[in-house]
Amino acid sequence: MQCLPRFSRLLGILLAAPAAVAAQSGDATAALEPDGWRISNAGVVRADSAIEAVFLERTRAIDTVAIGDFASHLLARLGVPPFEDSLRFRVTADSMLVRITGRLMDFPPESRHELGPIFNFIDSTTPFTAEIAMPQRSGGVMRFRLERVRVSGFPIPDLLLLPALREYDRRYPVLATDGRELLVAMPPDGEARLVEGGIEISTKGVSPGS
Taking phi first (over 0 means left), then psi (-120 to 50 degrees means alpha), and beta for anything else, what does residue 209 get?
Answer: left
> So what's the pLDDT on residue 67?
96
User: Left if phi > 0, otherwise alpha if psi is -120 to 50, otherwise beta: which for 77?
Assistant: alpha
pLDDT band with cut points at 50, 70 and 90 for residue 50: very high
**Between the ranges 80-89, 128-137, 176-185, where is the mean pLDDT highest?**
128-137
pTM of the model: 0.78
CA distance 72 to 18: 6
pLDDT for 195 equals 96
pLDDT higher than threshold 80 for residue 112: no
Q: Are 42 and 25 in contact (CB under 8 A)?
A: yes
Query: Which sequence spans correspond to the domains of the chain?
Result: 2-202
CA atoms within 13 A on the CB side of 109: 0
DSSP per-residue codes, 85-130: TT---EEEE-SS-EEEEEEGGGS-HHHHHHTHHHHTTS-TT-EEEE
Cα–Cα distance for residue pair 151/164, rounded to 1 Å: 15
Q: Which amino acid is at 69?
A: D
pLDDT of residue 36 exceeding 60, the answer is yes
- Angle of helix 41-51 versus helix 67-78 axis, rounded to 10: 90
Strands 32-33 and 141-151: unpaired
Given a cut of 80, whether residue 125 has pLDDT beyond it is yes
Q: CB of 147 within 8 A of CB of 10?
A: no
Per-residue pLDDT averaged across 110-126, rounded? 69
